[in-house]
Every structure is written in C-alpha cells, then in structure tokens.
Amino acid sequence: MRSPLPSLLLASALLTSAVCGASTTTAVPRTPPNDPVWQAQLSTFDESSYNREVEALITSFEKATGKKLVPGKKKKVGLKIYTDSGAGMATPVPLVRAVIHALERRGFEEHNIFLVGLNQLRLRMTGFLPSLVTGETPFKANPIFVLESGKFYDPVWFYDSPLPQRFDPIFAEQQTKDFPNSSTKDEDRKSFLATPLFLDADFWINLPVYTDHPMLGVNGALVNATLWNASNTGRFFRSPANAPAAVAEMSAIPELRETWMFTIVSLEHYQFIGGPYFNSLYSASEPLLWLSTDPVLLDSLMRARINGLRKQSGFEPISEEIRTLEFAETLGVGSTHIASAKFIPVGE
C-alpha cells in the first residue's frame, strides 16, 4: 500500500546519481523540538516600534542559543516575504525594514540582504517593488528576487511526486502559471526549488503572514517556506491530502532546514476565514511579534487563534482532515503541542 506521503527526490550538483542525475533523500523522523517562542509587544505598528522589538527578539535569541547573526563565507542573507494575498495581508514593510536594520547592525551590507517573493504584480502592489507612478520603494538597495521570473530555479534541485500539474485550481494556477515547466510527463512531476535561500545565503529568515487556506488549513510559516518557494506547486491542490503532504516533506529537506535561521511573524494582521484571498471583514490584529525556530509550533498556535475567531463568528473550524502540521511533526520539523509551548517575553 502506497504511503500517503509522496516520495521525496532531491538532486544537487554534489550528490548526483550516475543513472538519473538525481539523488533520493528520505526525510528521517526525529523527536519534535521543544523550541521556545520569543514574544515582543508592539506599542504601534510603525518602523520605530518594529525596530526596537525586532532588535530585542534577535538579541534574546542570540544570547539563548549562542548563534550570532553575522556574515559568514557567503556574506549574504535572505528574507522570504509573503505578498500573495495582496495589499492588506502582506508581510508588513516596517517589519522587513526593521529586520534589515538589525542585520546591518550585525555586519551585513544592505546590498547583500535580499528579499524573495513569488509574484511581481503583488510585490509591486504591496510596496516591495518600485511604484510604476513614483518609482519609489523602501528597498532600493536590496535585491528582490521574483520567483515567477523563473530565474531562480536550479534543474538539479527538485521535489518529485506523481501529481500532475493539470489539476490546478484557480488560485494555485494564478500563482504558478508563469513558472517554467517542461512538456514531458517526467518534468510535470517535478517542483523545482528556488535556490537563493539555501545556496546563496549564509542563512535565511522566514517572514510569513497568516491566513486560512481551504486545502492547507493554515497558510503561514511552513507554506511560505515551501510551496510559495517552488515551481509547479499548483498540482498539489487536487485534494486535501496532497498539498499538506508536499508542504511537510519539502519543509523537512535538510538543506532548507540547515540554513533556515528562524521565523519572525507579526500579528499586525491575519485572516481567519476566506483566505488566502484578502477579506478585511474576516481579519484580526494583535500587537504581538513572535520569533521561533519551530514553524510547526507557530502554525499550530495560529491555527488555534484562527479556529477561535471562526467559532466566535459562527463558522466551522479548520477541517481536522487537513493534516499539514501533523505530517510535518511526524517528520520532525516541529511540534503541534501548543499547551506546552514556552513563551519568552522580551522588550518593554
């Protein structure tokens, strides 16, 4: 009987099979981590408040873990942002600026701090790419890699499964329609990984925004790092089991995990129903900023918040049949046990 998780095939230039040009890697389950969540209170949602609290979070993380966010051999760092729900539900620009400032204080040059996003139009609409009217952007010195350009995928790094592209629903199709795909059946099985985060940088930081999602349950830390960081991923949305399995296995890729420093998420805005399309009627806001190395725990905490708000508004909770977080926990990516989550307050 076939496992509900599709097989994971990764290929690298250093680990290449003489037969097929790709090496097979199996994610090995391990005990889920018991990583804490560092939490800061935002006084406002402006850049000065974000600057203060981001610095407090990172400093606390460095002291607790002994890891220093300083330039290494590559002297570059990547920031994975989220803009795909459009204006109103994108990674806050002041948060991104605050993270950049914190990295500059630790020795990174501004032009070596790059941003990774999926869709050019949404990146422009949310203020990351220059306005077509004014030509202005807060990120003039920061390279912004637009994944839909197809320039940032490497043919020897891919996730392979038997799910064909032709089952894309409208949302996934619109997000992935411009990704380069071969016409062969073999290539149609592959989702090529965007390599800048784990090949070009010393490390990278995940900066998601939270919405619900009909196929994934929670669109947040795990999804921003996986499906929205690869090509040809719309094919996974044919059933509630396929996309969760893909997210879980992609999040367990060793090279991606090794360079993934942590996730920082602002609760300035998140959405509890109707996502991933933005709908202000079903959005919420809290003056909280979280940092954690456990993306599963962050997603689980937000799933509980989203379900609570859905219940208050008379909606059904996220379906228990969507097992994204449980699959990821099984592969040792993180923990779903929010009752035992350890919060470390920092800042004012």
**Is the per-residue pLDDT at 336 higher than 50?**
yes
The pLDDT-based confidence of 344 (bands split at 50, 70, 90) is: very high
CA atoms within 13 A on the CB side of 33: 13
Nearest Cα neighbor of 33 from 65, 72, 80 is: 65
pLDDT at 299 over 70: yes
The per-residue pLDDT for 188 is: 56
**pTM above threshold 0.75:** yes
Tokens 């995928």 belong to residue? 153
11's tokens: 């290929």
Over residues 150-164, the pLDDT tens digits come to 676 666 555 555 443
Cα 53 to Cα 43, 68, 276: the distances in Å are: 9, 17, 28
Mean pLDDT of the chain: 82
**Contacts (Cβ under 8 Å, ≥6 apart) of 266:** 42, 45, 50, 91, 92, 95, 209, 288, 289
- Nearest CA among 56, 76, 120 for reference residue 264: 56
Length of the chain (residues): 348
Q: At what angle do helices 93-105 and 47-65 cross, to 10 degrees?
A: 50
Predicted confidence at residue 150, as pLDDT, reads 66
Per-residue pLDDT tens over the stretch 220-251: 999 999 988 875 656 667 666 788 888 998 89
User: What pLDDT score does 4 carry?
Assistant: 38
pLDDT(77) > 80: yes
Question: What percent of the chain has a predicted confidence (pLDDT) above 90?
Answer: 62
